[in-house]
Amino acid sequence: MAGSEEHAALQALRSRLEEEEKTYADVLATLDGLAAFSLPSEAGPEIRERLEQLNLLWSAPERPAGGGLGGALRLRAWDALAPALERQTQFNTALVQLLNAHLARLETLHARLRELGGAIVRYAQRVQPVVDARGRLGTALATTRSELILEAFDRRLESLARRVEGTGAIRDRVEALSEEVRALRAGLSSPPPPDVARAADQAADDSVYTAFENRFRGSREEIRRRVDGYVELFRDASPVIDLGCGRGEFLDALAAAGIPARGVEQNANAVQECRSRGLDVTRGDLLDFLRTHGEGSLGGVFAAQVAEHLPPAVLTSLLAEAHRVLRRGGLLLLETVNTRSVVGLLEVFHRDLTHERPLHSDTLRFLAAAAGFTDVRVELRSPVSPESRLQPVPADGLPERAAQALNENVERLNALLYGPLEYALVARR
């Protein structure tokens, strides 16, 4: 809304500026036209010629000479007409003098007007570049000021980023680089030539996802605390296979409890890290790894945050192979994202680009039963903290039934929005 209002204001300002520029151009053109008028002598050259002719003709006629009958007649006629001729001569003299004075003043006035008009036009032409330069200077100063502010802001951000370690993009990049360096070092030291470079390169590529898990799934210590609760379920279910064992947190927990276990993982960086801690981990495909085991040869199959990465056909094949390799009474445990929790979907499932599709607990339970497993149940895991959930409505000032109805709705919303983030499918062979 604010953006559209600012756009409308800018449009109005632009229209006003265009209107003012047009008015200025019109005024300048008018002044230019006024300054270009012609002087009377330039507009009508014949005026000067007629004035000169008039000045030649206005002088008083001379008295004719006498002599003879004709001379006498001319003198008598002259004497009779002399008063009238004298008045006419005086009139002509005054008129010519007036015309001379008027034309001279008019010539001077027009010359002054043309000089004034030219001066105004020249001034206006000088003002326009100054105004334009002032506008450009203001724009340049505003741009420079903005750049200085942004530069100072960038320096403050860099300083803040240096101070706040382990947060934001810097933390992500540092974690990724740390994992890449660790992977390269491990890759260069473990395989014999000529596989050294290939293994190191693969480990470096896979280190990005390891860094992603470090950032968003949780630290090794945090994941270890979360999987410790599964150990007792596998107490009498050895040997155990951890499918997609990742960084080996569950293998560490089983080893600490004295339960024999092996793992399989496709991420070369994670495999090297597990092996560096003495864990028995194979790098390879989950299904291919399961198929190398004989029927009924295992006591437990475990996979945490793996099922949501698998296409449906691979998932059903994995369930079938897990049922085949487990002995009677053997345990299958699959942990995945709880699709019945909106927060789980938004904050856990959709954050990971490698996730194939969400798995509803009813769907996974049905697929396990269809594969032949019995005693199939679902356990909810990783509850959302109470502080993050919707709070009940106090009953103060409300009718008891209204407060009860509101709080029942709050509980329903909490179950939908803030349900546990994960669930574990537990099934027996």
Name the residue with higher pLDDT: 144 or 48.
48
Q: Would 270 be classed as within a structural domain? A: no
pLDDT tens, position by position, 333-369: 999 999 888 888 777 777 777 788 889 999 999 999 9
Q: Would 396 be classed as within a structural domain? A: yes
Q: What is the pLDDT of residue 367?
A: 95
Give which of 282, 263, 271, 284 is closest to 207, Cα–Cα.
271
**What is the pTM assigned to this prediction?**
0.52
**Domain total in the chain:** 2
Q: What is the domain extent for residue 78?
A: 37-161
Strands 240-243 and 298-304: parallel
Q: Would 300 be classed as within a structural domain? A: yes
> From CA 265, how far away is CA 209, in angstroms rounded?
13
pLDDT tens, position by position, 185-197: 555 555 555 554 5
Q: What is the pLDDT of residue 57?
A: 67
pLDDT tens, position by position, 179-226: 655 665 555 555 555 554 555 555 555 555 555 565 656 778 888 999
Average pLDDT (393-410) is 80
For 208, the token pair is: 């990005």
For residue 407, pLDDT over 70 is answered with yes
Q: Would 387 be classed as within a structural domain? A: yes
Q: Would 6 be classed as within a structural domain? A: no
165 within 8 A of 171, measured Cβ to Cβ = yes
Average pLDDT (52-70) is 68
pLDDT bracket for residue 49 (50, 70, 90): confident
For residue 74, pLDDT over 80 is answered with no
pLDDT tens, position by position, 113-171: 777 777 776 766 666 665 565 556 555 555 565 566 556 655 655 655 565 554 555 56
Last residue of a domain, one of 146, 161, 176: 161
Last residue of a domain, one of 136, 161, 186: 161
pLDDT bracket for residue 228 (50, 70, 90): very high
> From CA 67, how far away is CA 75, in angstroms rounded?
9
Mean pLDDT estimate for the chain: 78
**Contacts made by residues 382-391, CB under 8 angstroms, sequence distance 24+:** 382/226, 382/420, 382/421, 382/422, 383/420, 383/421, 384/341, 384/343, 384/418, 384/419, 384/420, 384/421, 388/343, 388/418, 389/414, 389/418, 390/414, 390/417, 390/418
pLDDT bracket for residue 4 (50, 70, 90): low
Q: Would 60 be classed as within a structural domain? A: yes
Last residue of a domain, one of 127, 161, 195: 161
Q: What is the pLDDT of residue 248?
A: 94
For residue 52, pLDDT over 70 is answered with yes
pLDDT tens, position by position, 258-309: 999 999 999 988 999 999 999 999 999 999 999 999 999 999 999 999 999 9
Q: Would 197 be classed as within a structural domain? A: no
pLDDT bracket for residue 100 (50, 70, 90): confident
Kindly report the CATH number assigned to the domain that includes residue 400: 3.40.50.150
Q: Would 258 be classed as within a structural domain? A: no
Quick one: 423 and 289 in the same domain? yes
